[in-house]
Every structure is written in C-alpha cells, then in structure tokens.
Structure 1
Amino acid sequence: MHDLWDLTLSDVAQLVFTHLLEAGEANRRLLSERTGLSFPSVTLGLSELAASSIVTELRREQGARGRATIVYGVSDEAGWVLGVDIGSTQVSFTARCLNGRLLAHESVKHRENAAVVGRLAGELVAASRVLAGLQKAPLVVALAVNQVVPRQLLRPDRPRPLALDITELFVATSKLPSSIPFLVENNVNCAAVAEHQDGLMRGYDDAAYMQIGVGIGLGFFADGALIRGGQGGSGELAQVPLSWSDAVPSEKDAIERRYGSVGLMRAASAIEAKGQPVSSPEELFLLAANGCGRAETLMHEHGVALGRIAAAAASILDPSVMVLGGGLTRNAAFAKIIVDEFQNRNQDTLVAISEKGSEATLLGACLLARDLAARRIAERFYKPLLAKPTLLPLT
C-alpha cells in the first residue's frame, strides 16, 4: 500500500493540507487567512507536507515589487484514486490524482446481467495500459453499483447482498491489491455527491438528486451530510407501492418498472415510426416533436407522473433544491413536463436539470474515493462527506 497510509502528520500540517485541498491552490497568505495560523506556522506545515511529497510548489507570481509569491498545490506524488461505475448498460472508470488531475478514463457498454458485470469492470481496469504504467497502487477505489449498498456488506443475520458479489468479482479480476480500501456506494448517491460538491446542489445543505433513467432513485443531503439510512437503503423510490389498494397488487420495483425508461418503452410498444415499433425514448420524443398525437399523449402522461413522484419525495425531504438527472431528463421537452408538474405542486423547492450528463456517477465515485484518502491524511481537521462509508471487508 502507498506509504501515505503510514504517515502521521502534525496538527499544523493536517490543517494546512485540508485547506489547500479545498482551495486547489494557494499562497501562504491565503492559507494563513483560512487556517488562522501564523505565517511561520503555515511555512512549517508546508515544509512537512513537501517533505512527504504531498504538497508542491506550482509556480511563482511576481508582483510589482518585492519577492515573488509562491503558489502551492497538492502534488501528483500525493497519490491517486480510482472511481468505477458498474452500471446496468455500461462500465467505466476514472483515475485521478488527489489534486484532481485526470490520469485515465475508459468505458465500455455491455448487455450482461448484474451477476457478472463486476467481472467486466474488473477486466476493463486490468487491461488498462495507463493504470498498469503507474508506479503505485491507488490510495482508494470507490465502486458505484446500481444496487442497494448495506451499511455492512456482510452480516450473518441478513442475506448476502448482490453489491458484495459485484464488488468481490471486481476485486478478483481487476488485479488491484486486495489490501487497498474498496469503498462501495449506490450509483445514485454517487451522482448526488457529484452534484453537491461540483454541481447544481453546491452550496445547499439540504438538497436532493433524483435520477430518472432505466431506474428511478434518489440521493439526498440533509444539513450538509449524505443520508444513507439505517440500512443503507435511503432514497429507494422504486420500493414505493404503485397501488395503495389491497385489491390491486403492486410488485417489487413497481414505480421503477412503470416509469423508468423500460416502462416508457413498454407503453410505447404499440406506436410505430415508419412501419416499425418505436425502439428508444429518443425516437418517441422525436415523434412527439413532429406532431404524433399518441407519442405526445404518452410523453405528457409519463412526464406528469414523474413530476408527481419528484414532488412527493420533496414533500417528505423538504430540500432547498432538487436536481433531476438521468437519461430521460436529457430531452428538454420531456424534462420541462416533469419540472412544470413539480412546480405546480411545490413552489418552495428550486428544481433544475442536471448539467453533468452520464458522467455524474463516476465523478461522485472519484470524489468519495478522494474523500476517504483525504480523511486519512488529515483525520483531525478534514470533514468527510461520509462519516461511515461502506468498505469491503478485508479477508
């Protein structure tokens, strides 16, 4: 494992690192203002961090007179993290230095079931020439999976979760050292982290992200903390019953099956384009835009239902902002139907469409990996996004 895990930094060095990581780059004056430390103390902290290759001099800025000001940043040598998105239709990974510099990004689409998709992700990582060329292993690997992630992956009193099978299959095929911390998190929660740290939820302590694609899920922050629930299953909107009548059955994942993209295409199966059944949501939306009455009606009914689901979630959580993301929200006309219905029922919560596209989950996984690494480096002064992340048990 990287020597960084064995470091014990002074309180001053930890405090300086925490603020430098947040700022991205800073001179001694800015670090002194942020930390409340004196110039000499900041200098000592920077020297200690530089001696451990955690901090480096980025450049020197010459003012109108006097000596040049040194600008510092987190060094590439501080280490790197790996974020992996193990999705239902695609597996991807991104490797980044702790300072955010991109090292590698690869992605491949698939049609495999959840039982084997961990292997595909592991093979993708193992086959990467860029990752193989790096001298040191990642500090942390964070896996985003489209499954409920229990707070404890292995409990004798509970059935073995699929999230654990996916993770173990990834570890076995990735060729990464098993001693690395492997963090596992739900994919929608990862996307929510990306929006909260670097998106439309930034600056809001109480905020929600609703993903509308193949599945429907919710990730949310309360008082600035990602809420995972007692069992790790918070935000599982798919488990809300579709029917409240005992006479009408409501199967598991009923809302998701009805109002996710699969349910939309099932409802659109009787609509034809050029003599062929509609084959994708994009094709359905195009038909509606071109004046097909049946496509317009279905699009409106589906969008209104999703707007009401979002409004129901907001009535419970009371977020300051709700961001809608996922594949179905990328069509502006369809997203507007959802937003309009939401706003008809809730004028207090700001609602917006994510600008991050399909990379939100992967970015969130990287941020969670960096979060765990930074917490270890500056444990006394760094405020983590996840106080108790779910980690793969060491064997």
Structure 2
Amino acid sequence: MEKLMSAAADRALSEVAQLVFSHLLEVGEATRKLLAESAGLSFPTVTLALTELTAKSMVCELRREQGARGRATIVYGVSDDSGWILGVDIGSTQVSFSARLLNGRILAHESRKHEGGAEKLGGLAGQLVANSAALKAIKTPPLAVALALNQVVPRQLVREGKPRPLALEIAEMFVGASRLPRSIPFLLENNVNCAAVAEHQDGLMRGHDDAAYMQIGVGIGLGFFADGALIRGGQGGSGELAQIPLSWRNDVVSGVDAIERRYGSLGLMQSVSGAFTGAAMPGSPEALFLLAASGDETARMLMSEHGIALGRLAATAATILDPEIIVLGGGLTRNEAFARIIVDEFQSRNQDTQLEISQKGAEATVLGACLLARDLAIGQIVERFHKPLSARPTLMPL
C-alpha cells in the first residue's frame, strides 16, 4: 500500500497540467495549438504543462505532421503508461471483465457463463480476474475498478442497525478472490445503470442530457440521466421498475418484484407453460418468437400481450421522467418483431419521446463499468477539472 501511495504522490500534477490533461483526455489527441485554444491558455503555458505531463509518462508524442511552411507539428496523446482501469460485470448468467488503458485501448476482455447463486458470483468473477494471463502480465495495479452488480447498490454500504447489503458481500468476495490490492478504489454500481452509462457515453443516448435505458430480459430495470448526470436516487435504488405494483386492487396481492416476475423472460415462459402442453410447448422466448413467426396463433397472442404490457411500462417511465430518448436493451429486445410490438404500443401513447433499440448487446454492462472506472480514475487525477458521470458514486469502504 505504501508503494501505491508513493506512486500516486510522484504523479501528482500541477493545476495547469491537470487542465491540459483533462482536455487531452476529452479529445483523444491534439496539437499544442489546439490544446491552448480549448483550455484558454497561452502557448508557452501549454508547452510547460506538456513537458510536466511527458516527464510523468502521462502524455506522449503520437506523430509529427508536416505543416504548410515545412515545420513539423507534434500531435500529443494520452500515454499507454498513464494507467489502466478494470470494469467487471457480475451478472445473473455470466461474469466478465474488460481492462482498458486510460486512453481507451483494450488490454484484455474475458467472459465466463455460470449457474452459481448470488452468494458465489463475487468469487467467480474474482477468480476470472486472478487467473487471467493478460492481467498477470501487467505490472501495475489498476487506477480504479468498477463492479456492475445485479443488485440494488445502496448509497451507504455500511449503516448502523442495518444488515449488510448483498451488493457489499458480493464485492468483498470479488476483492478477496481477485487478489487485487485493497487500496484501489472499488466503485459499485447497479448493472442497468452501467448499461445506461454505456449508451449515454458511446451509444444511442449520446448527446442527450435527459435520457433513459430500459433493460428487458430476465429482469426489468431502468437507468437514466437528467441534465447529463446519472441519477441514482436518495437510497441508490432509482429505476427499480420491478417494484411497481402489478395490481392496484386491495383484494389482489402484488408481491415483491411483481412487474419483473410477470413481464421478464421468466414471466413470459410461465405464460407459455400455461398456454401450451407437451412437446408443442416452446422451451425459450426465442423458440416462442420463432413459433409466432411461423403463424401459430397462441404464440402470437402471448407475444403481443407481453410486448404491449412492456410498451405501456416504458410509456409510464417516460411520463414520470420526460426523457428525450429511451433506449430498450436486454435479451427480449433482440427479437425485432417483439421489439416492434413494444415500440408501436409506446408510440401510440407518446409521440414526443424517441424510442430506440440498443445495438450493444450483452457487452453494454461491462462497457459501462469500464467507463465508470475510467471516470473515477480521471476525477482523481485532474480533480476539479472533471465533471463526473456520477456525482456521488458508491465506493467500498477501506
């Protein structure tokens, strides 16, 4: 730990260097002239900042471009030696990680399917990281690690008189199994929020300050941005659509996760089991959709009822949040015909909010975790010259 603290102190930057580095991180590469213009600094000041950043291996010369007058112009970029981050998806069906340099270059990416219970997932993900040959070859620890969890992540992980949340238990198992230094900042975030970050920074929500991502798969959840910032709520449980009551009648029980249990993929298959018998029963949502495409009326009816309900749920979210755009993701939305039912129902109720289907697939969550880890690392390096994606991220206590 002392070595880590010493390394961090050795790379502490002056305020001018922080400002220049923050602009270089934003644009990826730039000349001194462009950096001076974007940062509002004089050319000599930028030159001094780049000298400091180069000496600390934060910035490097990418190439030289020949100018009109025959003088070469140096193009600078974020150095490979500036550090790396780790994003980890600890999901309900697979664990995966992606390691990236601060400049965005991918170092390693691995996934593993599993059938373990929630209490085992942290250890499985940690073992995947610890056993990675690519990560073992890296001689420095990551600047930050972000864990995407299939759990509500409370703002306060340790509260007097309250039981320890499962999110913290999973994270602690990961840290132990991964053998990463405990002094590294570990950020915990809900998996749907991570997917929302991926869409907002590098997807269909990019450029929209008010936007939402709705995941429809085994679970149903919502992650959203308002005024360009990820909204996590007072307790950390914003976007938990699964908790919306399914029935408003006092004589009809609406249990915990009622919406999710009814309209997630497991709920769809329960409806299938009640409508089909024997060998004719499709064994998965994909099989149901294929049967519907072949003209089976029962399959088409179930598909339509389910899609319409989800379209109305999306319309409910839009009514409350008033986003410019909602992006639908998750396993059930990957069938074009089923997604079309959701979109049509939504648009019959809301003509103002744009509704799109995510193109990122299953990798959205781990990408979002990477972006949050990078965001945290950048904030620690450039301090006040960085607007964080999450104003109050949940970090594991030391």
Instruction: Specify the TM-score bucket, using the shorter chain as the normaliser.
Output: over 0.9
1:355 aligns with 2:341: no
> Structure 1 pair 2/127, CA: closer, same or farther in 2 (3 Å)?
farther
Amino acid across the alignment from 1:5:
A
> Structure 1 pair 189/319, CA: closer, same or farther in 2 (3 Å)?
same
**Distance in structure 2 (CA, Å) of the matches to 1:136 and 1:80:** 9
Amino acid across the alignment from 1:97:
L
The alignment's C-alpha RMSD in Å is 1.3
The Cα shift of 1:65 comes to 3.0
Contact 1:60 1:69 in 2 (8 A): yes
* TM-score normalized with structure 2 length: 0.97
Partner of 2:337: 333
Structure 1 gaps, min length 5: none
**Distance in structure 2 (CA, Å) of the matches to 1:376 and 1:10:** 13
1:289 aligns with 2:293: yes
> Structure 1 pair 244/357, CA: closer, same or farther in 2 (3 Å)?
same
Partner of 1:5: 8
Partner of 1:168: 172
Partner of 1:108: 112
Amino acid across the alignment from 2:134:
V
Helix, strand or coil: the match of 1:167?
A: helix
Partner of 2:313: 309
Partner of 1:121: 125
Cα deviation, 1:7-63, whole Å, max 9, x if unaligned, reads 331111111111110101111121112111111111111111111111111111123
**Distance in structure 2 (CA, Å) of the matches to 1:273 and 1:107:** 36
Cα deviation, 1:221-279, whole Å, max 9, x if unaligned, reads 11111000000000000000001111000010000000001101111124569925311
Contact 1:18 1:382 in 2 (8 A): yes
> Structure 1 pair 93/273, CA: closer, same or farther in 2 (3 Å)?
farther
Partner of 1:52: 56
Cα deviation, 1:320-360, whole Å, max 9, x if unaligned, reads 11111111111111111101111111111111111111111
Contact 1:11 1:380 in 2 (8 A): no
Partner of 2:195: 191
Partner of 1:242: 246
Partner of 2:91: 87
Structure 2 gaps, min length 5: none
Cα deviation, 1:109-165, whole Å, max 9, x if unaligned, reads 011111111110011001101101101011111000010000111111322110001
The Cα shift of 1:203 comes to 0.8
> Structure 1 pair 318/333, CA: closer, same or farther in 2 (3 Å)?
same
Partner of 1:61: 65
Cα deviation, 1:184-204, whole Å, max 9, x if unaligned, reads 000000001111111111111
Partner of 1:366: 370
Partner of 1:389: 393
Helix, strand or coil: the match of 2:326?
A: strand
**Distance in structure 2 (CA, Å) of the matches to 1:372 and 1:342:** 36
**Distance in structure 2 (CA, Å) of the matches to 1:42 and 1:242:** 59
Structure 2 matches for 1:138-287, cutoff 5 A? 138-270=142-274, 275-287=279-291
Cα deviation, 1:278-301, whole Å, max 9, x if unaligned, reads 111111111111111111000010
**Distance in structure 2 (CA, Å) of the matches to 1:4 and 1:81:** 16
**Distance in structure 2 (CA, Å) of the matches to 1:82 and 1:273:** 47
Contact 1:208 1:218 in 2 (8 A): yes
**Distance in structure 2 (CA, Å) of the matches to 1:276 and 1:38:** 74
**Distance in structure 1 (CA, Å) of the matches to 2:46 and 2:123:** 46
1:379 aligns with 2:398: no
Q: How many residues align?
A: 394
Helix, strand or coil: the match of 2:119?
A: helix
Contact 1:140 1:370 in 2 (8 A): yes
> Structure 1 pair 69/207, CA: closer, same or farther in 2 (3 Å)?
same
**Distance in structure 2 (CA, Å) of the matches to 1:19 and 1:132:** 31
**Distance in structure 1 (CA, Å) of the matches to 2:76 and 2:227:** 31
Amino acid across the alignment from 1:99:
N
Partner of 1:344: 348
